[in-house]
Amino acid sequence: MTEGSFVGIDVGGTFTDLFVAGSNGDGPTVIKVASTPRDPSVGVLDALAAAGLRPEALEAILHGTTVATNALIERRGSRAALITTEGFRDVLELGRRDRPQMYGLWGRQRPLIGRDRRWEVRERIDHKGRVLTELDEDGLRELARALADDGIEAVVVAFLHSYVNPDHERRARELLLEANPDWHVVTSHSVLREYYEFERTSTAVVQGYIQPLVAGYAGRLTRKLEDWGFDREALLMQSNGGVTPVRRLAERAVHTIRSGPAAGVIAATELAREAGHSNVITADMGGTSFDVALSVDGRPVQRPQTELDFRIPVRVPMIDVRTIGAGGGSIAWVDRGGILQVGPRSAGAEPGPVAFGRGGTAPTVTDANVVLGRINPERPIGDEAGELDVDSARAAVAELGAPLGLDAEGAAEAILTVVNTLMAGEIRLISLERGHDPRDFVLVAFGGAGPLHAASLLTDIGMGSMLIPPHPGVLCAQGCADADVRYDFSQTLELILEPAAEAPAPPGLAAVLAEQRELGEAALRGDAIAFESIEVEHFAEMAYAGQIHRIRVPIERDWSARELADAFLGAYEREYGTTLTGAGIVLVNAATTARGIREHRASRGVPGAGRAPEPIGSRRAHLGAWIEVPIYRREHLAAGGSLTGPAVIEQEDTTTLVLDGMAAAVDDALNLIVEAR
């Protein structure tokens, strides 16, 4: 191992993956060990040991964790209390008046903090920040004393309009910590400086709910790494695609939810960028779901808000990863109208697809691939059970097809077409709704099933090319190793722009942006990491007066109202194809992103000699008809090599299908670049 390595480690539900980029012509190190859900830091150390790494040789350990996500899904978070403005303790439970699905009047809701632990205190601030009712400090002290005896770990304070005037929340925090310095106290304005009381309260409650647990994990991980001999600070992946030092992990807990998929998008974007593509659609197809995301100009597109469960929104920037229930385990079925459907129900790992022979009886997408010979039945992926049961899979698929008048092959083809249509539709939706044409993008496919379906998606959507990374199964770990350090800030201003020709910059905007820049730079300086550079970008979220949905536009700090308005109108036109006349423009939020750019260690290989790879054999596969298809091993594909479809390329963690008429080439970084012709 060479000096100064960057190690990426991704802790998933089943496996903990490790990735270290190679240097001096060596390939990368890729390790998979079993995850240790009781204390995930054990798996992290296991992976480091398995990779044979020496602590003193490491420049940085970058790590993605599902601790926060799992705590939420399994409702294992802290015992927390919520204190609100008098009259508003139920905002958290009431939400914004909705139901989980449009049709069917049932619904179940489980607030993270039940009504018996939600309290109120007298105070009120209006929308301009004016104090209408002073904070009842005596009442709060009394409440704090009572709660101190109630076994509470975290207290969340969420007052109305605290985003414009946080004084009462700050004072409440002081009083609570006086009563019990061991509490995790979370104020809503410190988590989100924006209006919308339910969304802000919910975000703060999620933070309070997971903070004690995440703090415990950060402590254990730090101690274990120190004991191991690693004297620097580990960096943790966030859902915005940037990392943060482990020391800040607890306070940033809400930013780590769903950071795993974000890391995959980061890595896919970075690989594509090195290969010369800045507009990328990433497609991660696993056992139960299909995750799709978009990167424009080398930046993953993010979204401001995510619903974690019914009535549990978090409003923090996350990479916009859309998930639909389409994976290898998705079950195919025929509805009452006689129409073939796939998913969203999945056979999961247990009982799994019929071919796995673990008791699954419902035909799945994997079974269809098995029937059509696209998956090697002797060397299946993600399954230690050994050989696949092709006959049972075939029988199940044939049985499904019978009432539709389809034989086994016909039904299997139909299943794949239906699931590919769903995925292609999602790709179209995520790009078209932002005004992009997916045909201008490169598809990066990964996950266990992604490379198997990507060629069909390419054809369906009419995209020109796709990139299959050398290690599609550990892309999230690779993304951790690639990520920059990142902090986001946002504050509601609600400024009405007066875009007269000579109008000055809107009042207060420059000051807020300057403050955000300072906070970001200070945080980066405090992180004691050697950055190649620090990059600060400002954004404005703007809308026509009265509009709810805002458009995020990059801006400069000293821009005039005219320049701001022009930037908004340009972005609006791109997204909606039109602008509106006569409507005023409001600058709702001012936002800043501060990035510490880490030196990127390109995972370059040596330029190859361009040898044509030799197939290891061939197999009968059904691609429209039964044909003999050459089979390649991925590790035989050297840089500069090329092949033409139809072909099947097998490796430990996935199978890649190249269709007839497609040409595949291996680039210097060992990516497989497939062009549709």
98 forms part of the interface with other proteins (CB under 8 A): yes
Asked if residue 89 binds other proteins (CB under 8 A), the reply is yes
Residue type at 334 in one-letter notation: V
User: Can residue 228 be called a binding residue for other proteins (CB under 8 A)?
Assistant: no
Q: Smallest distance from the beta carbon of 329 to other proteins, in angstroms?
A: 19
For residue 315, what are its two tokens? 């409003």
What is the Cα–Cα distance from 283 to 293, expressed in whole angstroms?
7
From 96-104, 174-182, 252-260, 526-534, span contacting other proteins (CB under 8 A): 96-104
CA distance 106 to 438: 37
Site residues (CB under 8 A) for other proteins, limited to 136-155: 142-143, 146-147, 149-150
Residue among 65 and 162 whose Cβ is closer to other proteins: 162
State in angstroms the smallest separation of the CB of 418 from other proteins.
5
Rg for the chain, CA atoms, rounded: 26
Q: How far apart are CA 352 and CA 448, in angstroms?
A: 14
Considering the complex, what minimum distance in angstroms separates the CB of residue 85 from other proteins? Answer: 9
> How would DSSP label each residue in 328-372?
TTEEEEE-TTS-EEEEEEE-TTTT--GGGTSS--S-BHHHHHHHT
Q: Does 108 bind other proteins (CB under 8 A)?
A: yes
Regarding 95 and contact with other proteins (CB under 8 A), the answer is yes
Query: Residue 188 or 392: which CB sits closer to other proteins?
Result: 188
Residue in 29, 46, 167, 195 binding other proteins, rule: CB under 8 A: 195
Q: Of the ranges 173-181, 400-408, 592-600, 604-612, which one interacts with other proteins (CB under 8 A)? A: 400-408
The least distance separating other proteins from the CB of residue 496, rounded to whole angstroms, comes to 9
Residues 466-505 that bind other proteins (CB under 8 A): 494
Count of beta carbons in the 10 Å neighbourhood of residue 76: 12
Residue 378, token pair as written in the block: 């002797």
Among 52, 181, 405, 507, binds other proteins (CB under 8 A): 405
Q: Is 578 in the site for other proteins (CB under 8 A)?
A: yes
Cβ(587)–Cβ(539) below 8 Å:
no
The site that binds other proteins (CB under 8 A) totals a number of residues, namely 77
Nearer to other proteins, 201 or 478 (CB): 201
> How far is 449 from 365, CA to CA, in rounded Å?
10
**677 vs 663: CA distance, rounded Å:** 8
Q: Half-sphere exposure (CA, 13 Å, Cβ side) for 236?
A: 31
Q: How far is the CB of 404 from other proteins (least distance, A)?
A: 4
β-pairing verdict for 80-85 and 154-158: parallel
| DSSP string for residues in 394-424 | HHHHHHHHGGGT--HHHHHHHHHHHHHHHHH
Closest to other proteins by CB, 25 or 577: 577
Judged by CB under 8 A, the residue of 276, 433, 507, 625 near other proteins is: 433
- Assess 421 for contact with other proteins (CB under 8 A): yes
Q: Residues 328 to 357: which contact other proteins by CB under 8 A? A: 335-341
DSSP state, residue 494 = E
Q: Are 86 and 168 in contact (CB under 8 A)?
A: no
Contact between 451 and 445 under an 8 Å Cβ cutoff? The reply is: yes
The correct pick among 106, 384, 609, 625 for binding other proteins (CB under 8 A) is 106
Task: Pick out residues in 29-88 that bind other proteins (CB under 8 A).
Answer: 86-88
Q: Is 428 in the site for other proteins (CB under 8 A)?
A: yes
Nearest distance in Å: CB 459, other proteins: 11
From 22, 325, 348, 425, residue interacting with other proteins (rule: CB under 8 A): 425
Residues 161-180 that bind other proteins (CB under 8 A): 161
Closest CA to 446 of 319, 292, 298: 292
Non-local (6+) Cβ contacts of 372 within 8 A are: 409, 412, 413, 416, 621, 622, 623
H-helix segments, 558-638: 561-576
Cβ-based nearer residue to other proteins, 161 or 595 = 161
Mask 273-312, x = binds other proteins (CB under 8 A)?
A: ----------------------------------------
Q: Which stretch binds other proteins (CB under 8 A): 171-179, 196-204, 233-241, 347-355?
A: 196-204
Within 521-560, which residues bind other proteins (CB under 8 A)? 544-549
In angstroms, give the least distance from the CB of 644 to other proteins. Answer: 25
Which one among 14, 75, 79, 109 touches other proteins, defined by CB under 8 A? Answer: 109
Burial zone of 364 (CB within 10 Å; 0-12 exposed, 13-18 middle, 19+ buried): buried
Pick the binder of other proteins from 62, 156, 418, 445 (CB under 8 A): 418
**CB of 366 vs other proteins, minimal distance in Å:** 18
Strand order in the sheet with 118-121: 118-121, 80-85, 154-158, 184-187
User: Would you say 253 or 443 has its CB closer to other proteins?
Assistant: 443
